[in-house]
Structures are given as C-alpha cells and as structure tokens.
Amino acid sequence: MRLRRSMLFVPGNAPAMLRDAHIYGPDSVMFDLEDAVSPREKDAARHLVFRALKDYDYAGVERIVRINGLDSPYGLEDVQAVVAGGADAIRLPKTDSPEDVLAVEKAVEAAERRFGRPSGSVGLIAAIESARGILSAREIASSSPRLVAIAIGAEDFVTDMHTTRSADGVELLAARGMLVMAARAAGIMAIDTVFTGVDDEEGFLREARLAKQLGFDGKSVIHPSQIALLLSVYSPSEAELVKARRVIAAAADAEAKGSGVVSLDGKMIDKPIVERARRVLALAGEDQP
C-alpha cells in the first residue's frame, strides 16, 4: 500500500523548492501549476516542472502535479508536459462531475501513447471543491480506474457554501464525511485539505487528528514543518503496533491450522479487527504475512 499521509504542495515556479521538496520526508510532493502560479508565469512554471520531473531524483517520493483545468488555456499543455516528464499522478482541480475526470483521463491516455509511457501508468487524484462536487463525490470516486484518491479543497468549498473556515471546522464536517464515504465505497484514498496557519501548531494537530478520526488517509500540507506533525498523528503508537502484530500472528496461526476461528487472549477476533491491524502495520511500513 502506498502511503499518502503527507502531500506537500510545491509552487511550480519555485526552482529551489522543486529541487529540494523530497528532502523533508513527505510521502508525496505535489507541484502546483494552478493557484500558486500567476497567468503570466504559467508557461515558465510548466517548463520548470517538466525539467524537475526529468532531471531530479526524488528518492521514491511520489510526484504529483496539480494541473490547470482543461477549460483553461493551460490545462491540455500541462497534461502533455507532466506525462512526458514522468509524473506519477495528476491532480485535477475543481472536479464537479465524473465527466471532468473522464476528460482528463482521455487527455492522459493520448499523452501516454505519444510519449511512450505504459497505458495506465499515470494516476489521477480528483480535488473536490464545491457543493456540486461533494454531492457527486460517489460518482466521481468510481469514474475511472486511474483514480487513486479524491481530495477536498476547503477554501473554494467554503466560498461556494457562503461561509468561512472556523477553528473547529464545523462548516466542513458534512463534506468531509461524504468525501471519505465516497472514497471508501470506491476503494480509493481520501486526502484532507490544507491547514493554512503555518505557525499554529496546535490548530494543525487538532485538524489532523479530526481528519484521521474521520477516516482520511492523509492531508495536504503547505509547509515542510507540517510533515513531522502529520506523521506524529498518523504513526501508530508502540502499544498499537504490539497489539496489531499479535492479532496478525493469531490470524496467521489460525489459517495455518485450517481454522476459521481466530482467537487472542480468550477472545474471538473477527475480520474487521484483523483488517484494522493490517492497516496499523501498513502505516508503520511493516511487512505482513
């Protein structure tokens, strides 16, 4: 399982940040060609990201590019450049419907053929940023086999809802829940929105804990200092690891004996508990039987 606990936004027009983004230890880096780049810099940023993808070794860190929408003058060229450069995935902005995903999928397929990349090698992540998108989240999440995750974009969403972000995030609670359920139903990941208060460590941790409790697989971040904080939330404790290892060992022992019943310390262990234990070990990067 590829972990996407931390997804670091990197402006596409910042050469030094493009070069060094992976050294902070994120699971994914996300080069931004959309909101972080002004219209007059779009072409230059696209070239910088292309060169970064081609020239730099990111040591196994997943490389994602947030493109401009296909309804803009830049989106199609973005797709061509990032597929040619070797990006692992493309993040679609402002996804309102399955048709938005399918349009990008078609462009990516054509680019893979053009640049000799294997069909299906470029994944997609759909960012949902409106009431319409949230209400279509289930259909969006199951719209393409390329889709590896859906994400919520809070700033555009709260604007669409005629409200603002608050410390407790009550205005996002329903949307977050619907997005996570859509992701789970489709068997893909759910990524939470950025927390913009870079100096507010307590606020960031509070929001990250909420995201984890709701079922999000990770969170987008805008500053390297947020990565370690996020890992402290998503990394299992030693007690959780010990328990998970014992559960997996008991399940393996039952399977070896041909028993359909798994027990531990005199208690029955059902399938959901085993699955949760596997996830705990996966979050810690441990191999499992």
* Region of residue 259 (phi > 0: left; psi between -120 and 50: alpha; otherwise: beta): beta
Q: CATH top-level class for 6-234? A: alpha beta
How far, in Å, CA of 190 to CA of 207, rounded?
Answer: 15
Predicted pLDDT at 282: 82
Cα distances (Å, whole numbers) of residue 275 to 3, 100, 177, 190, 286: 16, 33, 21, 18, 14
Cα distances (Å, whole numbers) of residue 256 to 215, 249, 252, 260, 261: 32, 10, 6, 10, 11
Predicted pLDDT at 173: 97
pTM over cut 0.85: yes
Predicted pLDDT at 242: 82
Predicted pLDDT at 278: 84
Mean pLDDT for each consecutive 10-residue tract of the chain (289 residues)?
A: 92 95 95 95 97 95 97 97 98 98 98 96 98 98 98 96 94 98 97 94 96 96 96 87 82 74 76 83 74
Predicted pLDDT at 123: 98
Provide the residue type at 121 as one letter: S
Burial of 155 (0-12, 13-18, 19+ CB in 10 A): middle
SS3 63: strand
Domain boundaries defined on the chain? 6-234, 238-283
Predicted pLDDT at 236: 84
